[in-house]
Amino acid sequence: MSQDRSGPTQAQMQQMAEAVVRDLPEKFREQMGEIVMRVEDFATAEQLESVGLASKWELTGLYEGVALTERSVWESHRMPARIWLFREPLIAEWRDTGVRMDDLVRHVVIHEAGHHFGFSDDDMHWLEDNAD
């Protein structure tokens, strides 16, 4: 998807993120059905604080929820997990690095999905390498 240097809109980035999930291996995609994917321009102050960051430009994505490995059969009525993508920091990274925007979005979505599965960073790299 080509964009001018202003970057994608929230709707375009949402479409990119949804395409990443569609391309995941089936065994992972099936377990992501409940996740709500959202694109906002920046993280909130509370979201930044939750990961120990001060600048809204430092956070490109965030997983909010309980990892599958941490869930109890006794839990019910919890809010669905969420994956947030933060558009402006992603656009800034795209401009700074020259990495394709769809590759940046793919990286962030897979990393945040990895938190949903309770994956280590090595597991997340494997998932990202095998998402094609």
pLDDT in tens, 84-94: 999 999 999 99
Whole-angstrom distance, CA of residue 32 vs CA of residue 49: 26
Helix (H) or strand (E) run with residue 68 in it: none
Per residue in 46-65, pLDDT (tens digit) is 999 999 999 999 999 999 98
Query: In the chain, what are the domains?
Result: 10-129 (3.30.2010.20)
Prediction pTM value: 0.83
Compute CA distances 124 → 46, 52, 53, 98, 129, whole Å: 25, 21, 22, 23, 9
Sheet holding 82-86, edge to edge: 36-40, 82-86, 61-64
**Average per-residue pLDDT for the chain:** 85
Per residue in 11-30, pLDDT (tens digit) is 999 999 999 988 888 888 88
